[in-house]
Amino acid sequence: MRQAGRYLPEFRETRAAQDFFSTCRSPEACCELTLQPLRRFPLDAAIIFSDILVVPQALGMEVTMVPGKGPSFPEPLREERDLEHLRDPATVASELGYVFQAITLTRQQLAGRVPLIGFAGAPWTLMTYMVEGGSSSTMAQAKRWLYQRPQASHKLLRILTDALVPYLVGQVAAGAQALQLFESHAGHLGPQLFNKFALPYIRDVAKRVKARLQESGLAPVPMIIFAKDGHFALEELAQAGYEVVGLDWTVAPEKARERVGKTVTLQGNLDPCALYASEEEIGRLVQQMLNDFGPQRYIANLGHGLYPDMDPEHVGAFVDAVHRYSRLLRQN
């Protein structure tokens, strides 16, 4: 996660020339940023460089990336009537052609070396940014909507779902070979709110994307759901229509496997901060993680994204350790 990121000097150099969302709108820049980590590390997949907030932008909201602060919406959603200003979700995919072009270009450049993963933010997570106007430690404004304006909240979540389905299908049509849905703010909801305002839309996205792919004559692709801090909903997520459930580092792998059963693939879940450890310690932690998950139906990953101050050498040590211990596990 965030394998194309600020921890790489070449990423910082490429990004320095233009602002964040201008970069996202340049297929050539996105392709270059996607490929950079693969030139450095023997990674097993590429993840298209983009951002989850291109969807609210395509719905007509202004979003800027403020250095040192993160995403900012100058005019967040404040009242139910603000929903009327959003564009028709059916037009979103046509607004995001630059993402599809980036995917196609990157697939061509990869020439089959590794698969390319596309992604989007899940409806609840996108709603939090649109209502909060940026990042928040409590999501109090977005949760206020859930409690005070449940109908308007469902209306907004439906709009976002209706936008996400053609967007994700468009990514596959453009060449994405797997899709990941990020419910990054799952942890701000307890089980009740999650089951009411997040899970139904997570399920709906998977179901409708798969149906639309079939209708369009496109081959199905694996879908990954990553709900950060959503450990209270592991069983539900495992049955939500996704082939893979991503785990953050707060979940014990053996317990997760017991809870989700044998038919779902798990992805994760090393604490990203473990990459601050020595390379020897990283190797030990990776060995422990692989032993805990076991060799079947498992994709090794971090439990969340890389941080800008991480040493690329340590990222390399992580990747190498995964490959080394994977071979040992399979031999045994």
Catalytic residues: 2, 6, 15, 51, 129
Distance CA 258, CA 266 (A): 11
Distance CA 91, CA 57 (A): 12
DSSP track, 45-100? -EE----TTHHHHHTT---EEETTTEEE-SS---SGGGGGGSPPGGGHHHHTHHHH
Give the side-chain half-sphere CA count within 13 A for 315.
22
**Which pair of structure tokens corresponds to residue 225?**
């759901």
CB atoms near residue 209 (< 10 Å): 25
Distance CA 294, CA 299 (A): 10
- Residue 118's H or E segment, with its range, is strand 116-121
Give the Cα-Cα-Cα angle 63, 32, 69 (nearest 5 degrees): 30
**Which pair of structure tokens corresponds to residue 312?**
């690329």
Distance CA 138, CA 146 (A): 14
